[in-house]
Amino acid sequence: MFRASSAFLIFGCTLLATQDLQPSGEKIRTHVKYLASDELEGRGVGTRGEKLATQYIAAQLETFGVKPAGDQGTYFQRVPLVGSKTLPSATLTITGKTGSSPLALNKDFVGTAFSQQPENDFDAEAVFVGHGIAAPEFGWDDYKGQSLAGKVLVYFTNEPPSTDLKFFGGRALTYYGRWTYKFEEAARRGAVAALIVHTTPTAGYGWGVVTGSWSQEHAELKLQPGEKGLKLAAWLSEDAGARLFASTGKTVEQLLALANSKSFRPMPLGVHIAGHIPVALRDIDSRNVVGRVDGADAALARQAILYSAHWDHLGIAVPVNGDNIYNGAVDNATGCAVVLEIARTWAALPKKPKRSAVFLFVTAEEMGLLGSEYYAEHPEVPPGQTAADLNFDALYPFGATRDVSVTGAERTTLWELVEDDAKRANLSISPDPEPEQGHYYRSDHFSLARVGIPAFTIAQGTDYLGKPAGFGKEVFEDYNTKHYHQPSDEYRDSWNMAGMEQMARFGFTLGLDIANQPSLPSWVKADEFLSARQKSESGK
Instruction: Give the span between the Cα atoms of 217 and 45, in whole angstroms.
Output: 9
Q: How confident is the model at residue 3 (pLDDT cuts 50, 70, 90)?
A: very low
Instruction: Give the span between the Cα atoms of 108 and 102, in whole angstroms.
Output: 9
Q: How confident is the model at residue 7 (pLDDT cuts 50, 70, 90)?
A: very low
Q: Is the pLDDT of residue 6 over 70?
A: no
pLDDT, one tens digit per residue, over 323-351 is 999 999 999 999 999 999 999 999 999 99
Helix (H) or strand (E) holding 95: strand 91-96
Q: How confident is the model at residue 205 (pLDDT cuts 50, 70, 90)?
A: confident
Q: Which residues are registered as beta bridge partners of 219? A: 83
421: left (phi over 0), alpha (psi -120 to 50) or beta: alpha
Q: How confident is the model at residue 281 (pLDDT cuts 50, 70, 90)?
A: very high
* Residue-level pLDDT at 101: 94
Which residues make Cβ contacts (< 8 Å) with residue 260, sequence separation at least 6? 130, 131, 160, 161
Average pLDDT, stretch 279-295? 96
Q: How confident is the model at residue 184 (pLDDT cuts 50, 70, 90)?
A: very high
Instruction: Give the span between the Cα atoms of 297 and 517, in whole angstroms.
Output: 12
pLDDT, one tens digit per residue, over 243-254 is 999 989 999 999
* Residue-level pLDDT at 9: 42
Question: Looking at 204-218, 430-444, 494-508, which range is the least confident one?
Answer: 430-444
Average pLDDT, stretch 288-307? 98
CA distances from 72 to 17, 68, 107, 356, 380 (A): 37, 9, 45, 20, 12
Domains of the chain in sequence order:
18-80+286-538 (3.40.630.10), 88-277 (3.50.30.30)
Tell how far CA 417 is from the center of its chain. 25
* Residue-level pLDDT at 13: 31
Q: Is the pLDDT of residue 170 over 90?
A: no
* Residue-level pLDDT at 525: 93
**pLDDT > 70 fraction of the chain, expressed in percent and rounded:** 96
Q: How confident is the model at residue 480 (pLDDT cuts 50, 70, 90)?
A: confident
Report whether 376 contacts 292 (CB < 8 A): no
Q: How confident is the model at residue 4 (pLDDT cuts 50, 70, 90)?
A: very low
Of 501, 515, 494, nearest in space to 460 by CA:
501
pTM for this entry: 0.82
Average pLDDT, stretch 387-397? 97
Orientation angle between helical segments 48-64 and 334-348, nearest 10 degrees: 20
* Residue-level pLDDT at 449: 97
Q: Is 72 helix (H, G, I), strand (E, B) or coil?
A: helix
Average pLDDT, stretch 196-217? 90
Average pLDDT, stretch 358-370? 95
pLDDT, one tens digit per residue, over 34-55 is 999 999 999 999 999 999 999 9
Question: Looking at 10-24, 261-275, 291-305, 525-539, which range is the least confident one?
Answer: 10-24
Average pLDDT, stretch 379-405? 97
Report whether 273 contacts 356 (CB < 8 A): no
* Residue-level pLDDT at 375: 98
Instruction: Give the span between the Cα atoms of 492 and 71, in whole angstroms.
Output: 36
| Kind of pairing between the strands at 218-221 and 232-236 | unpaired
User: Average pLDDT over the chain, rounded to whole?
Assistant: 92
Instruction: Give the span between the Cα atoms of 277 and 111, in whole angstroms.
Output: 9
For the chain, the first-to-last Cα distance in angstroms comes to 32
Instruction: Give the span between the Cα atoms of 306 and 180, in whole angstroms.
Output: 24
Average pLDDT, stretch 418-427? 98
Instruction: Give the span between the Cα atoms of 316 and 329, in whole angstroms.
Output: 14
Average pLDDT, stretch 463-484? 91
* Residue-level pLDDT at 540: 62
* Residue-level pLDDT at 20: 66
* Residue-level pLDDT at 1: 32
pLDDT, one tens digit per residue, over 71-90 is 999 999 999 999 999 999 99
In this structure, the dihedral spanned by the alpha carbons of residues 315, 317, 319 and 322, taken in order and rounded to 10 degrees, is: 40
Q: How confident is the model at residue 436 (pLDDT cuts 50, 70, 90)?
A: confident
